[in-house]
Amino acid sequence: MAYSNEVLHGAGGSPMVATLSGREPQEEALARYEAEFRQHYTQWMEILQRNAERLARGQFSLHWMDTSGAQWGRRAKPSSRGLTYADINRVPGYGDVPELASWLNFAPRGSVREPYRDEMPIVDDYTVLERDELWAENVLSLYEEAKARQWNATRDIPWDELTPLPEDLEKATCQLCTALTEVEFVAGDFPSKWMYRIPQDFLEVKSFLSTQIMDEARHQEVFRKRAIAGGGLLHASPGAEWALKAILCAPTHTMGTFLLNLLAEGLVLSVFRSGEMIAKTHVDKEIFRRCLQDEARHVSYGVLEFQWWLDHQPDRERALETLHRFADVGEQVILSAFTEPTLVEPIAILLGGGLAKIDAGMEGMMRVWSMFIDEYLQRCERAGFDRRSRCILPAEAPWRMAA
């Protein structure tokens, strides 16, 4: 049962190019795709030919029923929480997370895959190969918690109970929600940027990052909905844009995790914790409460991932200095977001209780800032990264009260 040249090249044997669109970039992308798979034509075509000929003969292989190289018969047992990753990882042969991933394809960890290594493709996008660049001791438990505590921004927020606020408070609320809408998606874009680069042997990390992406999509959704339900989106922020770019363009996963999870999301977590004082309706309080539990998971992963990375560096002092260099830049760029009037002023108005009380609100904002700096430095210390002597962020709020 041979396959003709038309299967690969179309009728007449000519390459199938530019059938999707006349735009040149798409043609080039399609041409590269064709070249990639034609380059390895003999490898996958031999598999196709072998399987097709056997099926045509009416024969079965049944090689997959051979359990001599498998972990067959070692059954996972559920714990009190159900059947978790931790439970299945206790079964010998399934929980061995390699220090360096060498399987750069989609074969599951613990499956029978060695006999097929030479026939499998290599996924060039799998570039994060060291466990220490990703792992955290709490990643399994955080994944279970993330699944258990998912919520729905459409039905779990009592939108029909949202009451109108005075114009100054409503504008402040909608501006804050606009700012949060702007920042939340980068907290999903960053893990998605790295998740597809992580091989399957680190499946637990990939699974957790997928929940973070879902969390951040929901946060963007709920703040966007709150703004539009209350009056509308207001102003974007150039300072926030530079901070978000600094996170997304971090040179390594660990560095970006530090900037996103320990620093940026740490400040957002401080804002959410102040939700009882900031929120002026019970709908807003509920939004902050639900987002708080999600954000706490992301920060917790960031701390322990950072700690794991440092604890497994062969030259810890050199690693620390590299991270200090990164933080010297990252902290300053992040500060560009958290001094923007589009974030500081609406929070101050909400804390004070109105535009006329913005000065009193700035006093509260200064307390929030001090809390954030203290918590940020504590997280760094917990991870083994003493940042106090080099921190670019001012210990006291970087603004003065109006005279």
Q: CB neighbours of 134 closer than 8 A, spacing ≥ 6?
A: 128, 198, 202, 205, 253, 305
pTM exceeds 0.85, yes or no:
yes
Q: Are residues 153 and 245 in the same domain?
A: yes
Note the Cα 49 to chain centre separation in Å. 41
What does the pLDDT look like over 16-55, one tens digit per residue? 344 444 456 888 988 888 998 898 888 889 999 999 999 9
| Distance separating alpha carbons of residues 15 and 26, to the nearest angstrom | 15
Domain that holds residue 45: 5-57
The reply to whether 294 and 196 lie within a common domain is: yes
* Structural domain includes residue 86: no
Per the domain annotation, does 72 fall within a domain? no
Both 53 and 161 in one domain: the answer is no
* Predicted local confidence at residue 11, as pLDDT: 39
> What values do phi and psi take at 82, rounded to 5?
115, -155
Name the burial class of residue 293, with classes exposed (0-12), middle (13-18) and buried (19+) by CB atoms within 10 angstroms of its CB.
middle
Domain-embedded: residue 24: yes
Do residues 138 and 35 share a domain? no
Which pLDDT does position 41 carry in this prediction?
A: 84
Residue 212: inside a domain, yes or no?
yes
Bridge partners of residue 130, in order along the sequence: 100
Q: Looking at the domain assignment, is residue 98 inside a domain?
A: no
* Residue 33 within any structural domain of the chain: yes
Same domain, 340 and 241: yes
* Residue 94, in any domain of the structure: no
Quote the pLDDT of residue 7. 39
Number of domains in the chain: 2
- What per-residue confidence (pLDDT) applies to 400? 62
Q: Tens digits of per-residue pLDDT, 196-255?
A: 999 999 999 999 999 999 999 999 999 999 999 999 999 999 999 999 999 999 999 999
Query: Please, which residues have CB within 8 angstroms of residue 114's CB and are 6 or more apart in sequence?
Result: 69
- In this structure, the answer to whether residues 161 and 44 fall within a common structural domain is no
Structural domain contains residue 177: yes
Check which CATH number belongs to the domain holding 203 and give it: 1.10.620.20
d(CA 58, CA 72) in angstroms, rounded, equals 28
Token representation of residue 347: 């929070």
Given CA atoms 378, 211, 255, 246 in this order, what sign does their dihedral have?
Answer: negative
Shared domain for 18 and 144, answered yes or no, is: no
Closest CA to 203 of 90, 71, 107, 83: 107
- Reported for 226-231, long-range contacts at CB under 8 A and 24+ positions apart, including other chains, are 226/173, 226/174, 226/177, 226/283, 226/284, 226/287, 227/173, 227/174, 227/177, 227/178, 227/181, 229/159, 229/162, 230/162, 230/164, 230/165, 230/170, 230/173, 230/174, 230/177, 231/170, 231/171, 231/174
The confidence score (pLDDT) of residue 245 equals: 94
Predicted pLDDT of residue 21: 47
- Give yes or no for a contact between 159 and 225, defined as CB atoms under 8 angstroms apart: yes
Asked if residues 265 and 376 have their Cβ atoms less than 8 Å apart, the reply is no
Q: Residue 160 class from Cβ within 10 Å (0-12 exposed, 13-18 middle, 19+ buried)?
A: exposed
**Are 200 and 125 spatial neighbours (Cβ–Cβ below 8 Å)?**
no
End position of a domain, from candidates 21, 41, 57: 57
Q: Among the three residues 38, 57, 76, which one is the final residue of a domain in this structure?
A: 57
Same domain, 158 and 301: yes
Torsion angle (degrees, nearest 10) of CA 375, 221, 159, 287:
-10
Low-confidence ranges of the chain (pLDDT < 70): 1-24, 399-403
Same-domain check for residues 311 and 186: yes
Helix (H, G, I), strand (E, B) or coil at 79: strand
In this structure, are 135 and 51 located in the same domain?
no
CB 191 within 8 A of CB 355: no
Do 52 and 138 fall within a single domain? Answer: no
